[in-house]
Amino acid sequence: MKAQNLGSKIRHEFPIFKNNEKKGDGQIKPFVYLDTAVTGQKPQSVIQAMTKYMETDYGSVHRGAYGVSIRSSKMYEDTREKVAKFIGSSVDANQVIFTKGTTESLNIVAHGISELFLDDKSRIVIPTIEHHANLIPWQQAALRKDCELAYLSLEGKQSSKLKINLKEAEQFITKNTKVVAFAHVGNVIGQINPVEELIALAKKVGALVVIDCAQSMSSHDEDLFAMGADAIAFSGHKLYGPTSIGVLAMKKELVDRLPPYLFGGGMISDVNLEQSLWTTGPAKFEAGTQPITEACGLSAAIDWVESKGRTNILNHSSGLASLFLEKLKNIPDIEVFSPQSGKETIVSFRHKKIHAHDMATILDFDNVAMRAGHHCAWPLIRNLGVDALVRCSFGAYSDGDDVEIAIEAIKNSVKRV
């Protein structure tokens, strides 16, 4: 499907929009959802796939020799295969681990790497602008191993300077660097980070590369493992799929060598009263009952995304973000925080006279949904010299009417203060 056929042409596939229209004074206010960066809405195909599975095939995975368990197990492993292909041709299913989400995935890999590869002479390099999920696990790893955590800064605080300082990266990524971790796409200002350059710098010194792909998997299709990544993490709910399922994909060496993070049923090969032995492959990291229904939903979500085309979704969403940005800059007292390259799907801003939290509440009166706050990135917010931002983020179902309604609501916000 071409990019121009997205938005209003596919909106009917998402029941959330019809079900959240506001009616009053003889008018219908459409639901303008501009918070896809926090979670994507779900197409009917995902909802139906999960419902059908629970009605007809639901059973425990890898636990039973009866029909529904066998069918559930096949669905679960078929989804693993599908996820591997979705990540890239250089990945196979034995590298794909199912988790609760990006946060758990990053905790697993940070903990495992710290146990095997870090000591008090090591350095970890991450940007200051990371989501807490890709910052705090590395902070804790550095504390456990009493090693150095070096932070990459932004080039500046405005417009095109809102990007990682690569000259600083060249200085910081040295021979004692063991890990370089960063987001593919930033969750606050939407910057697309220089993946190839950062991977090249890391590989030059033999460092491992971990990439947070929570914001990029629905709209970017680069094979990051072919480019040199050692591990990536993402969540199903940001991929137009369900919550409570995420993916950690790692190179085979890491899958084989990293220790498990959780312990219990399903991840052992033998247990006696003196010791336990772990199984191999993804199962080593999937203790307990797996996210079975959620895996079914993730499978349907990947099918849906691929039917629209990730490049089309990116072009469509970034085009709307650019249109919104240009109109936003013409509103008095608005300060914009965006790299403004034309490729971002996120625009963050603040009104100099209306606090971000108040702005989000005011917008809700017009049935416009945007997130306000620190966006789980306190260091970035403080670095920008603000206490909170309003974030507008676009998805496949966004359209031009969303832009017009949101801009009008922001213009009228001063009347509600």
DSSP 177-216: EEEEEEESB-SSS--B--HHHHHHHHHHTT-EEEEE-TTT
pLDDT at residue 347 in the model: 98
Band (pLDDT 50/70/90 cuts) for residue 5 is: low
Query: pLDDT for 233-276, tens place per residue?
Result: 999 999 999 999 999 999 999 999 999 999 999 999 999 999 99
| Residues designated as active site | 376
Question: Average pLDDT of the chain?
Answer: 97
**CATH assignment of 6-42+309-416, among 3.40.190.10, 3.90.1150.10, 1.10.10.10, 1.20.1250.20:** 3.90.1150.10
Question: What's the start-to-end Cα distance of the chain, in Å?
Answer: 43
pLDDT at residue 2 in the model: 46
Q: What are phi and psi of 400, to 5 degrees?
A: -60, -35
Kindly state the average pLDDT of the residues 325-333. 97
Query: pLDDT for 268-321, tens place per residue?
Result: 999 999 999 999 999 999 999 999 999 999 999 999 999 999 999 999 999 999
pLDDT at residue 236 in the model: 98
Query: pLDDT for 162-194, tens place per residue?
Result: 999 999 999 999 999 999 999 999 999 999 999
The yes-or-no verdict on residue 53 having pLDDT over 90 is yes
pLDDT at residue 20 in the model: 97
| CATH number 3.40.640.10 given to 47-307 | yes
pLDDT at residue 26 in the model: 78
Distance CA 190, CA 37 (A): 9
Place of tokens 């509600």: 416
Residue boundaries of the structural domains of the chain: 6-42+309-416, 47-307
Band (pLDDT 50/70/90 cuts) for residue 331 is: very high
Same fold, 6-42+309-416 and 47-307: no
